[in-house]
Amino acid sequence: MSRCGADWFMVLLIARWPTFSCFTVVRVGNNVRMGATSNGGAPPTSEIDVAIVGAGFAGMYMLHRARQAGFTARVFERGGGVGGTWYWNRYPGARCDVPSLEYSYQFSDELQQEWEWSEKYATQPEILRYADHVADRFDLRRDISFNTTVTSLEWNDDGWLVTARSIDDNAPDHHDVALTARFVVLATGCLSSANVPRFPDDHLFGGRTYHTGAWPHDGVDFAGQRVAVIGTGSSGIQSIPLIAKQAAHLTVLQRTPAYSIPARNQQLSPEYVADVKANYGEFRRKNSLTRAALGGDTPTGPHGACEVNDDERRSALEARWQKGGLLFLGAFNDALTNSESNRLIADFVRDKIRSTVLDPDTARKLSPDSIIGCKRLCVDTDYYETFNRPNVSLVDLREQPIERFSEKGIVVRTSSSPCRDVGGSTESRHMEEHEFDAIVFATGFDAMTGAISKIDIVGRNGLQLRDAWSAGPVNYLGLSVHGFPNLFTITGPGSPSVLTNMIVSIQHHVDWISDCISWMNANHARTIEADADSQNHWVQHVNAVAGMTLYQSCSSWYLGTNVPGKPRVFMPLPGFPAYAQTCADVAQNGYRGFHVS
């Protein structure tokens, strides 16, 4: 299927990349096996149709579709196994906040019929088992290079030079591998680049530190330990109740309180599963027609929160609270467009926090005052109840900011004294040192663009993606960037992605990309690239849609404000069905808005 001759690349590589003199690459049938030597050897001679970065749910399905369409493909995966976010996020309590019967592939009816989910919300180990099952069932592993991080992508008229660094568990050093690919698909995940904030003197801390997004595979035993958790987003809120049960003492360091809705997790009843499976196609179809591509059996309420009286509002919200989960916000149709409606819904949650948390001061600190849903809503099991435990305490970092780390723990400022004296008495009066054996960073991710920006991506005429995105990510349909031909992003910024059931958005993008490259072959097209004009219009469109909502009223990872120095741009596009229709229209009209050559 490949269109580019190996000889052509030999000439190119020898001419332009003399440093890549240490590769051996062997073609085996349609598959490419890569090896590398630390010296000598031949330059990269292998050439494939599609290079895929990442073996999470996006990369796995992209590999499957590419193969089905007759393309040669290879996945490069930083981790030692498939699963992406579910490979890395092994912290206690890690669980999907989308019901498992929805958070699963729908491309194979056999797969969705045979796989048995045990709980309404699947745990991380169960989702990882599912990913492993898919990899085995569709024989994906033979085209995945594990422990291999793509470091650069360079466009050369007809294809991409892909360079990756491979770490062999059994060898002390790394080696570089390279190949050329006609297309590159970035399946790098939206929440895969950990955000680890730095604090003064953090190197001094003598205990253990962990990030929820890079959790040790063997687990961590906190029994008898004094533990700190920094961060109260989804990862903090899921892990805090479980760490609290194990640790001698848990201190939660909270910068911004989150809104969290009870999950009401439960074992799935065989009757319910059978019912869904008997009509799985219709179940999926209904879900895909909702804004977030989930919860088709619980449609958004027909009224705004201000359009009903107090009793009706409370009763609608109570029903959603009892049902649990993210669909709480769908009780009313204007939760994220009308600030007064939003306040009424937020008041309901604040009442719940006050009635759950026994200590009024702790309840006050846990009560958010921002727009509900502006940051991603959290879903929990016993989160607020955990603060009633005698071994759990809360430090509100807005009142007591972290001053520095110490050898024994974390020093917070306990008053707003203007004197920042380090020499003894003044400091001891205004600082408090909390001693810990372990500190857990539940501090989130450089979302949506973090993993992409770690790769040196050089497009047409030497244009660096980092420069193209210096003021924030720009692209067309969230799929393609002007100046970067034959490069696609799965669930990239500018697409609904993180505002939806991710697997639905992933499948939608993979199907669109697969159809696009098949269409290119059928039409003898060599390259495809977003037009500058269509990209500009798309960026304006995403901003305009986001501007109609309340999403921009707070700091959130949707806006990139959690990462110092990151441009403040609302990255995802609200509304899956309209977006999917636009993508279909673009394809049906000969890839309108793209330059095809």
Of 64 and 95, the one with the shorter C-beta distance to ligand NA7 is 95
Which residues, in sequence order, are CB contacts of 67 under 8 Å at separation 6+? 73, 143
Classify residue 123 by its DSSP letter.
Answer: B
Q: Minimum distance from CB of 100 to ligand NA7 (Å)?
A: 15
Q: Does 452 bind ligand NA7 (CB under 6 A)?
A: no
Residue 277 sits at φ, ψ, to 5 deg, of -65, -30
* 405 contacts 204 by C-beta, under 8 angstroms: yes
Q: Does 465 bind ligand NA7 (CB under 6 A)?
A: no
Distance CA 417, CA 65 (A): 61
Which H or E run includes 186? strand 174-186
Of 501 and 534, the one with the shorter C-beta distance to ligand NA7 is 501
Q: Does 232 bind ligand NA7 (CB under 6 A)?
A: yes
Q: Does 316 bind ligand NA7 (CB under 6 A)?
A: no
User: How many residues bind ligand NA7, per CB under 6 A?
Assistant: 20
Of 45 and 449, the one with the shorter C-beta distance to ligand NA7 is 449
Closest residue to ligand NA7, judged by C-beta, is 233
Q: Does 183 bind ligand NA7 (CB under 6 A)?
A: no
* 342 contacts 371 by C-beta, under 8 angstroms: yes
Q: Does 231 bind ligand NA7 (CB under 6 A)?
A: yes
Strands 208-211 and 226-230, sheet pairing: unpaired
Question: Which one, of 351, 366, 287, lies nearest residue 321 by Cα?
Answer: 351
Q: Minimum distance from CB of 202 to ligand NA7 (Å)?
A: 11
* 444 contacts 212 by C-beta, under 8 angstroms: no
Locus of tokens 């929440």: 191
381 φ/ψ sector (left φ>0, alpha ψ -120 to 50, else beta): beta
Q: Does 236 bind ligand NA7 (CB under 6 A)?
A: yes
Of 59-67, 74-82, 441-449, 540-548, the segment contacting ligand NA7 by CB under 6 A is: 441-449
Distance CA 565, CA 300 (A): 37
Q: Which of residues 560-579 bind ligand NA7 (CB under 6 A)?
A: 562
Of 31-39, 160-168, 226-234, 312-320, the segment contacting ligand NA7 by CB under 6 A is: 226-234
Which H or E run includes 409? strand 409-413
State which of residues 233, 262, 450, 473 lies at the interface with ligand NA7 (CB under 6 A): 233
Q: Minimum distance from CB of 211 to ligand NA7 (Å)?
A: 9
In sequence order, the β-bridge partners of residue 208 are 438
Q: Does 376 bind ligand NA7 (CB under 6 A)?
A: yes
Q: Does 79 bind ligand NA7 (CB under 6 A)?
A: no
Q: Does 197 bind ligand NA7 (CB under 6 A)?
A: yes
* 47 contacts 181 by C-beta, under 8 angstroms: yes
Per the document, the length of the chain is: 597
Q: Does 444 bind ligand NA7 (CB under 6 A)?
A: yes
* 58 contacts 509 by C-beta, under 8 angstroms: yes
Return the C-alpha torsion angle 107, 109, 111, 116, nearest 10: 120
Q: Does 256 bind ligand NA7 (CB under 6 A)?
A: yes
Of 91 and 484, the one with the shorter C-beta distance to ligand NA7 is 91
Of 177-185, 227-235, 299-307, 515-523, the segment contacting ligand NA7 by CB under 6 A is: 227-235
Of 179-187, 224-232, 265-273, 482-490, the segment contacting ligand NA7 by CB under 6 A is: 224-232
Q: Minimum distance from CB of 162 to ligand NA7 (Å)?
A: 28
* 250 contacts 434 by C-beta, under 8 angstroms: no
Classify residue 150 by its DSSP letter.
Answer: E
Q: Minimum distance from CB of 346 to ligand NA7 (Å)?
A: 16
Q: What angle do CA 141, 144, 149 make, to 5 degrees?
A: 145
Q: Minimum distance from CB of 481 to ligand NA7 (Å)?
A: 24
Which residues would be at the binding site for ligand NA7 (CB under 6 A)? 191, 197, 212, 230-236, 255-256, 376, 397, 442-445, 557, 562
